[in-house]
Amino acid sequence: MLALVVDDSRAMRSIIKNIIKTEGFTFVEAGHGLEALAVLETGEVPDLALVDWNMPEMNGLEFVQAVRANERFNTMKILMVTTETEFEYMSRALEAGANEYLMKPFDRAALRGKLEMIGLIAPTEIQDNE
Amino acid sequence: MPLSAPDYQFLKNLVYKDSAIVLGDDHAYLLEARLGPLAQLEGVADVTALVRVLQKAADPALRRRVVETMTTNETSFFRDIQPFEVLKNTILPELVKKRATERSLRIWSGAASTGQEACSLAMTLLEHQRDVALGWDVQILGTDLSSRVVERAKSGLYSQLEVNRGLPAPMLMKHFTRSGVQWQTSSAVQRLVQYRVMNLAAAWPLMPQFDIIFLRNVLIYFDMDTRRAIFTRLRNCLRKDGVLFIGGAESIREADDAFECVRAGSTHYYRHKTQPTAGIG
Ligand SMILES: C[S@@+](CC[C@H](N)C(=O)[O-])C[C@H]1O[C@@H](n2cnc3c(N)ncnc32)[C@H](O)[C@@H]1O
Ligand SMILES: [Mg+2]
């Protein structure tokens, strides 16, 4: 499976990549919305986009709106991954067509859980960590 | 000073006596890792010193803190999602039909930890059986040995890390409100859930007859005798047509002796063995 990681923080992109790599994803990445659209133009349609909100050039919400206006990307699931924690932001993202919403900071279990919710990975049972 | 074998044995016995939790001989590191900080809080040098304090005089409050510190409270909203799917798709619709005249449901989360399981049950009802959740006499009881987690559950407050785990964003928006840096369960959820301290391994208080029991990820800490005693008592407080869920990763022979296992997709639950095919329990 292919994931598009969109975030203006290189550190955040590697955190995300490290987690989803172990879930069997390969990835392409971009530092903001416009760059992400360019990546999408040239390559195959990813199964998943993980999208930050606050970025230069084009923010995450604008990116989601642009992507959802294009039928070619219908199958691509979108997970917002952002420091914005207000309900208003969540509903705007979901209304624009994001499939789920994850607040930063997050841990591996949280990201995994979101990928389960949007049907990209099979649920696994959480073991008590002893 | 590292913990001596007799001191480890002393703590192991104490924890077993008060909670039935079995600490294996390979759990010494876990015990030291968890009780070390408690020793500091209590103002003694290390775990060995803590043992001396416990041996010198009966101190029920300290004892309780020791036992509570040794519990594993790991949980999350909609943990192992399947049981909630089965509830939503088959069990609840059938149960609601059967209870249409009674208009009452009793649900128990028997090792509730900080309450995510009980809240997930409440949200499942609110989402999929709204009239029942709002109009019937519904009680979701969450119990746990540890008063610390019960107090947290009662607060209905969850951190960002906790609401990030297992909780779909639309449910967060619908069933929680912001409270500073935390999230608070809605009044609708709070009206459905109640929490109490209860030790599964001690004498049980008078329990109602439950329609649904969740007893997940706790039996693994107990030995066979404790499990058997618990299943005997579960039989007495599960309604004739009620259902029991244990943890998906818990394959527990004592459960199969006491109940009949029902496979449902990739999960399973238990019900009474001699059950008429239809009829009201
Ligand atoms: C891993 S949590 C399980 C939480 C939840 N049921 C779940 O599956 O996510 C286990 C809980 O069992 C509780 N526990 C351990 N021994 C107990 C006992 N003897 N009586 C009641 N609760 C106990 C612990 O305090 C802990 O909160
Ligand atoms: Mg950013």
Contacts of B239 (CB under 8 A, 6+ apart): B209, B210, B211, B281
A61 within 8 A of A94, measured Cβ to Cβ: no
Confidence of residue A52 (pLDDT cuts 50, 70, 90): very high
Cβ–ligand 1 contact at B200 (below 6 Å): yes
Instruction: Please compute the mean of the pLDDT values over residues B35-49 and round it to a whole number.
Output: 94
What are the C-alpha distances in Å from A16 to residues A5, A21, B166? Answer: 8, 8, 18
- Greatest Cα-to-Cα distance within chain B, rounded to the nearest angstrom: 65
CB A14 within 8 A of CB A43: no
pLDDT tens by residue, A112-122: 999 999 999 98
Check whether B75 has a pLDDT greater than 90: yes
pLDDT in tens, A77-93: 999 999 999 999 999 99
Q: In the predicted model, is pLDDT for residue B276 greater than 70? A: no
Q: Is the pLDDT of residue A44 over 50?
A: yes
List domains and CATH numbers for chain A.
2-105 (3.40.50.2300)
Q: What is the pLDDT of residue B254?
A: 78
- What's residue B61's pLDDT? 94
Separation of CA B230 and ligand 1 centre (Å): 14
Q: Do B30 and A130 touch (CB under 8 A)?
A: yes
Confidence (pLDDT) at A129: 44
In this prediction, residue A123 carries a pLDDT of 79
The predicted structure's pLDDT at residue B91: 97
Q: How confident is the model at residue B2 (pLDDT cuts 50, 70, 90)?
A: confident
- Of all residues in chain B, the percent with pLDDT exceeding 70 is 97
Q: Name the token pair of B240.
A: 């004739």
Q: What is the pLDDT of residues B141-194, one digit of tens each?
A: 999 999 999 999 999 999 999 999 999 999 999 999 999 999 999 999 999 999
pLDDT tens for B25-39 read 878 888 899 999 999
Position B281 scores a pLDDT of: 47
Q: What are the pLDDT digits (tens) for A7-26?
A: 999 999 999 999 999 999 99
**How many Å apart are CA A79 and CA A85, to the nearest integer?**
14
- Name the pairing type of β-strands B176-179 and B182-185: antiparallel
Chain B positions touching A117 (Cβ under 8 A) are: 168
**pLDDT band at residue B1 under the 50/70/90 scheme:** low
Listing DSSP states for chain B in one string gives -PPPHHHHHHHHHHHHHHH-----GGGHHHHHHHHHHHHHHTT-SSHHHHHHHHHHS--HHHHHHHHHHTS-----TTTTSHHHHHIIIIIHHHHHHHTTTT-EEEEEETT-TTTHHHHHHHHHHHHH-HHHHHHSEEEEEEEES-HHHHHHHHHTEE-HHHHHSS--HHHHHHHEEEETTEEEE-HHHHHHEEEEE--TTSPPPP-PPEEEEEE-SSGGGS-HHHHHHHHHHHHHHEEEEEEEEE-TT---HHHHHHSEEEEETTEEEEE-SS--SSS--
Spell out the domains of chain B, with CATH numbers in brackets.
Answer: 5-70 (1.10.155), 82-272 (3.40.50.150)
pLDDT of A130 strictly over 50: no
Instruction: Report the pLDDT value the prediction gives residue B80, as an integer from 0 to 100.
Output: 92
B5: CB partners within 8 A, 6+ apart: none
Prediction ipTM score? 0.92
Instruction: Identify which of B71, B107, B212, B216 to mutate to test ligand 1's pocket (most ligand atoms within 8 A of the CB).
Output: B71
pTM, 2 dp: 0.94
Q: How far is A21 from chain B (nearest CA, A)?
A: 19
Q: What is the mean pLDDT of residues B229-255?
A: 89
Which atom of ligand 1 is closest in space to residue B113's alpha carbon? 27
What residues of B are in contact with residue A105 (Cβ under 8 Å)? 160-161
Does any ligand 1 atom lie closer than 6 A to the CB of residue B146? Answer: yes
Provide mean pLDDT across the span B50-77: 94
Residue of chain B whose alpha carbon sits nearest to that of A117: B168
